[in-house]
Every structure is written in structure tokens, then in C-alpha cells.
Amino acid sequence: METSVVIVGGGPTGMWLACELRLAGVPTVVLEQDRAIDPYSRALTLHARTIETFALRGAHQELLAGGGRIPSGHFAVLDDRLDFAGLDTDFPYTLTIPQARTTELLQRRAVSLGADVRRGHRVTDCVETGETVTVSVDGRDGAYVLEAAYAVGCDGTRSTVRRCAGIAFEGTRFTALGALGDVVLDAPPPGPVTSEWTVRGTLMLVPLSGGRHRIVVHSPEDLREDWPGELTLEELRERVRRIAGTDYGMHSPSWLSRYSNTSRVARHYRKGRILLAGDAAHQHMPMGGVGLNVGVQDAMNLGWKLAARVRGRASDALLDTYHLERHPVGEDTIEHTQAQTAIMSVFSPQGAALRSLLGKLIAERPQLNDALAQRLSGLAVAYTLPGQHHPLAGGRAPNLKLSDTEHLFDLLADGRPLLIDFGRLDRVDAGGLLSDHVAAPFNRYRCPRPAGQSRPAWAGVSAALIRPDGYVAWASDDTDPAAVTTVAASAVAALHAPQPALVQLEGNPA
């Protein structure tokens, strides 16, 4: 099989990107240096927008079946958790599922779609050579070279691809650490999640499978700029006792590790034929469990654009919007994880007062709870699209009920754009009318009745184009077909013009 795209890194980000490219028929190779999926899962959570991302392709059911549902999230481990009940989504919760299981399911899907997944193959060099990218690989049976139209680095914070491309990784070195361990507890606390902040430190406990718990600790001694060495069980035990007054009978660790608040973002997510996604593009404190989620959403944004470019259906201008749309999301992720780290790290009476005040403000102001919940869940991301002024344009489309049997997400499963005529146009065949102004191939759907009864923002919409990643490319309230055609034409023209598209992080426009 001729290779169009080489993906370096076989974690959730790389695997989901492979799924998206193969869904569009793009020949894809995934190179992962580890021979097997890493059983130690740093990430344990999937947030609402990531579950929606998988649901857009009908790939979420096994993940839901294997995970626990927590109807809340935390911001800086404040006593009052963020309530997800008010989120406009089919998935108003945090799904707890080990990263290893997520990777396994996404790899299975990628292989079933035809991706060539090669484990135990380490990339040693990656060089753009005119019309191709040359990827040098140390494989299981020796060294070899792959030629591809594009290469994507999904290979973590120490990305070989990023280094070979000469892309700067800019930010700040760590000033705070944390410690975590997966252990057996003979006397665990009740409840799905336990969290506690005191002037002696912060403690979180999350149940895992097989009778194990994830313990996470952040203490005053972690406010440092030197690396103290490998974490031991005795150190973890002593620190937990100091905070909670007990070690819960911990023993038999399967994984002990430290993490830091080193925060960096790649200066460019694209440099010619080389692109970056996930941890290769951004590094931050793992507050709120957002890292894996942001990476998967990077892959969703990139997948359809890269596929369209490879197959000759779009210009470089569309591929450039990947950086323009996702780089600000990486910067925002660093901002709110660093803010949470600061709030957690004031181990003093003043810090307790700050946390108490913030907790009261969130509890007293539902709109503040909702704003933070949307940010944590990924539902707040909206893109500003050049030339589009409709309030829905650039926002995520919720899973609208379009008929008695069909919802919007069902119609995006094949990864094609979806043109919806909401039944308010004078002409029945809106799809035929707009064919010249939508990048083919796309799906058409004529709603049997106007949608939006439960969502006022959608009630007056006459037609809308939903991008493959579930965001609104354009929308119109006009009932005159000629006026709708004008909106569509301007949207298509903008895709091929080198105009900046900045990201907004707001409340869900729907």
C-alpha cells in the first residue's frame, strides 16, 4: 500500500488520527516504539467533548460500557466540585477509563479500518524532502525508510518529529511537582472519588479496576525546581498519612511516578509537510485530566483537513487552519492548568481563604460553575470562521434530534460534511442548490420538520453545514435560496484564502 501519511506515536491521539484518515480512505502507517500498549495509564478520564468526538463516528459504546460515570469534575481540587448536570450534551459526566483501555479500543478500530499499525518501530529521523517526507525507522527486523506525503508527530512531549522539524517548544520549566501511585488499599475510603486539600497537601483517590486505587499527592515539598529522584512507596505512604491521617492500608504498587507543571506549546503545529498533535504540541500540569482529551480533539480537527488535502479536495489554506484553530486551545489549556496549580499550591491559611472564597463564588453563581464545567469538558471551544457572522458558525453542533428516529451525530458517522435543510427553504432540493458551494463529497439531509424546539439558537435556522468534526461551518436563517447560496459561497471561498482564524473559548453557543 502506498503511504500517504505516517503517524509517529500510537497513543490515543495517533490512533484516533489514523481512524479518521482511514475513514476517508487515506493510506496510513502508525509507528510506535513500544511493542505493546503501556499498561500504566497516566490518563484516567474522558470528558464530554471527547466522548462526543467518538460518538460522531459511532465509536463510543465500548468506551462507555467499560468506564465509570462521575457527574462532576474538579477545578483545583476545590471542595465544591463542578456540576456537569447543566451541560448541553448527551454525556454530562466524567468517564473514568484507563488510558490503556482507550488506546486498545482505538487501535482496534484503526486496524479494522485498514491502518498499518507497527509496534516496536522507533523513528530516528524525519525530514521533509520537497514533495514528500522521509521517515527513518529502526524496525523489529532492522532499519528502513518510509516516504509519505505528510508526517504527523503524536509522539509525546519528547517528540522526535518535533525535534527533527526544528519546531520550538516554548514555555516554562517546572516549579511544582506531584506524585502518584497505583496501589492496593486494604481500607479504602467510600465513594467514587475522594479529594482533600489541607495546608499539609492535596490528596486525591480514584478507584481503578482489580481492587486498585490511583493516589495523587501534591504537597509543600513539591514546590521546587529540582528533581528529587524516583518516587518510592514509603515516600508516598508517609505523605498520604500526613494529609489524611492514614495510609488506607496501601501496598503492592504497580506504578509509582512523579509529574510536573512544566508548560510548553509548540510554536507551530504545522511546518510544511510535518504536523504535530497531542503532547507533541503541548505539555502542561495534568490538572482535571484534560491532556488526552485535548490531544484527541487535535486529531479530530486535523484528520478531515489532512484527508481533504491528501485527496486533492482542499488547498493548503485549509490545512493551515489546523494550527490557527488548535494552537490557541493549547495555550488556553496551559493557562487554566497553571491557574489551578497556583490555587492548589498556596499551602497556608491565606491559601485556605482563597479556596473558600472561590468555592463560594462558584456555588453562588451557577453561570460560573457552567463556564468552568464547559471549559473542563471541552464544550467551550468555538472557532471564529472568516466571513461567517451567524451566531452558530464555528460552534459545536449538539446532537440535535432531527426526526423521530435520527439524531445529528448519526449522520456524521462516515466522516463527511453534512448539509442540513431544516425545511424552511422555498426550494425542496437545497442540497442540489448548494452543491457548487460545498466541498464534495458531502451528505445531505432534509429535516422533516423544523428543528430546535428545545434549543432556541437553532429554531430559526434554514440551512447549515456541519463539518466532519462536528462544528458548524456555516448557517443561515434566510428562507430565500439565493441568500443561503451566498452564505455558502463565502464560506467555501474562506477555506481557500490565507486568512487567520482565531479561537474563542466561550459558553456553548447552542
| pLDDT number for residue 509 | 33
Tell me, yes or no, whether 488 and 389 share the same domain.
yes
- Of 485 and 252, the one with more pLDDT: 252
User: What is the pLDDT at residue 433?
Assistant: 55
**HSE-up of 256 (CA within 13 Å, CB side)?**
15
pLDDT at 179: 96
* Average pLDDT of the residues in 78-92: 93
Regarding whether 385 and 415 lie in a shared domain, the answer is yes
Select from 234, 260, 286 the last residue of a domain: 260
The pLDDT value given to residue 498: 63
Assess if residue 339 is contained within a domain. no
Is the domain of 135 the same as that of 201? no
How do residues 457-506 score in pLDDT, each as one tens digit? Answer: 898 898 898 999 999 999 999 888 888 888 887 877 777 676 444 444 44
Number of domains in the chain: 4
Please report, for residues 43, 178, 296, 347, 486, the alpha-carbon distance to residue 185 in angstroms, rounded to integers and kept in the order given: 20, 20, 32, 27, 64
Looking at the domain assignment, is residue 336 inside a domain?
no
> Which domain does 232 fall in, by range?
177-260
Assess contact for 243 and 202: CB atoms under 8 A.
yes
Q: Taking residues 393-416, report their average pLDDT.
A: 93
pLDDT of residue 428: 43
Specify whether 36 is located in the same domain as 118: yes
- Tens digit of each residue's pLDDT (9 = 90 or more) over 98-136: 999 999 999 999 999 999 999 999 999 999 998 999 999
Per-residue model confidence (pLDDT) at position 479: 84
The model's pLDDT over 145-201, given as tens digits with 9 standing for 90+, comes to: 999 999 999 999 999 999 999 999 999 999 999 999 999 999 999 888 889 999 999
- Does 141 share its domain with 289? yes
Are residue 360 and residue 495 in the same domain, yes or no?
A: no
Task: State residue 33's pLDDT score.
Answer: 98
Q: What pLDDT score was predicted for residue 487?
A: 83
Residues 138 and 265 in one domain: yes
Q: Within a domain: residue 338? A: no
Residue 184 placed within a domain: yes
Would the pLDDT of 450 be above 60?
no
Mean pLDDT of the chain: 90
User: Grid cell 481540587 — which residue?
Assistant: 77
Is residue 403 pLDDT above 90, yes or no?
Answer: no
Q: What is the pTM of this model?
A: 0.94
Residues 394 and 498 in one domain: yes
pLDDT winner (highest mean) among 194-198, 277-281, 311-315, 490-494: 277-281
Instruction: Show Cβ contacts of residue 151 under 8 Å, excluding neighbours closer than 6 positions.
Output: 5, 6, 7, 8, 126, 133, 135, 161, 273, 274, 275
State residue 172's pLDDT score: 96
Identify whether residues 139 and 32 lie together within a single domain. yes
For residues 313-334, average pLDDT: 94
Task: Examine the pLDDT at 277 and tell me if it is beyond 90.
Answer: yes
**What distance in Å separates the CA atoms of residue 12 and residue 497, rounded to the nearest whole number?**
32
Task: Give the pLDDT band of residue 209 (cuts 50, 70, 90).
Answer: confident
The whole-number pLDDT of residue 435 equals 59
Q: What is the pLDDT of residues 341-378, one digit of tens each?
A: 999 999 999 999 999 999 999 999 999 999 999 999 99
Residue 79 pLDDT > 50 = yes
Same domain as 137, residue 37: yes
Q: What pLDDT does 439 receive? A: 55
The dihedral through the CA atoms of 110, 116, 121, 127 has a sign that is negative
Give the tens place of pLDDT for each residue, 424-447.
Answer: 775 545 555 555 555 557 788 888
SS3 content of the chain, % helix, strand, coil (to 5): 35, 25, 40
User: Each residue of 1-24: pLDDT tens digit?
Assistant: 478 999 999 999 999 999 999 999
Instruction: Indicate if 29 and 154 belong to the same structural domain.
Output: yes
CB 173 within 8 A of CB 263: no
The whole-number pLDDT of residue 482 equals: 80
DSSP state of 382: E
Q: For residue 510, what pLDDT is reported? A: 33
Residue 445 is assigned to a structural domain of this protein: yes
- For residue 447, being part of any structural domain is answered with yes
